[in-house]
A = this chain, B = another copy of it.
Amino acid sequence: MTVKRGPGRRPGSADTRGEILAAARRVFAEKGFDKATVRGIAREAQVDPALVHHYFDTKEGMFAAAMRLPLTPEVVVPALLDGPREEIGERLVRLLLEVTATPETREPMIALIRSAMTHEYAASMFREFVSNALLFRVADTIGVPHLRIEAAFAQMFGVVMARYVLRLEPMAGAEPEELVELLAPTIQRYFTP
């Protein structure tokens, strides 16, 4: 990969990736998800856009990394497509329960949701990322109408909130397999238009 160096541009260094992510967090916070650009983030980080592309394939991937979110279309889509279509609901429920079971991957998601619940600006960034970058891309790839993937999102969003934030029993202490059995048919139905 050729990296052009202009005035004020720095070459890749040990923590260039970290500097790009810090710049990305500032730019996303200032412009929101839709209006932020790879070019603008490169400028903020004082690096060449090609270097940003070297570390992050897509703006979605950079946002997820900057917000420390474990879920991107690149993670979700292959997991959904890897197996029989009639078990897609089960695979999604299992993936989401696994990702949220670990505090290291769960807490950044919950932090973003908390901000989105209480600040309109964070809500609009969450909305742009979740709907345009995550849900609609997954929905369009697997052929599910947008309203139906949002119904599935609402189900799993509610489960994660009830289990980890509100900590309603018996939901909070339920075994993952019990939840898979209960929830997978719901998601399967939304994904079978």
As for how many copies of this chain the complex holds, the number is: 2
List A residues 144-193 near B (Cβ within 8 Å).
146-148, 150-151, 153-159, 161-162, 165-171, 174, 178, 182-183, 185-186, 189-190
Q: How far is the CA of A113 from the CA of B182 in the complex (A)?
A: 25
Query: In angstroms, how far is the closest chain B Cβ from the Cβ of A184?
Result: 11
Q: How far is the CA of A154 from the CA of B160 in the complex (A)?
A: 8
Assuming the contacts A118-B114, A165-B117, A186-B186, asked whether A147 and B170 have C-beta atoms less than 8 A apart, the reply is: yes
What chain B residues lie within 8 Å of A135 (beta carbons)?
168
Q: Is A121 an interface residue (CB 8 A)?
A: no
What chain B residues lie within 8 Å of A150 (beta carbons)?
162, 168, 170-171
Q: Which residue of B lies closest to A190 (CB)?
A: B182
Q: Which of B130, B155, B167, B170 contacts A168 (CB 8 A)?
A: B130
Counting chain A residues whose Cβ lies within 8 A of the other chain, the interface size class is 35 or more
List A residues 6-47 near B (Cβ within 8 Å).
none
- Chain A interface mostly: helix
Q: Which residue of B lies closest to A157 (CB)?
A: B158
Contact call A113/B123, Cβ cutoff below 8 A: no
What chain B residues lie within 8 Å of A153 (beta carbons)?
158, 162, 168
Between-chain CB contacts (< 8 Å), 9 pairs: A117-B117, A117-B161, A118-B118, A151-B159, A153-B168, A155-B186, A156-B158, A182-B190, A186-B186
Binding site for B on A (CB under 8 A): 113-114, 116-118, 123, 126-127, 130-131, 135, 146-148, 150-151, 153-159, 161-162, 165-171, 174, 178, 182-183, 185-186, 189-190
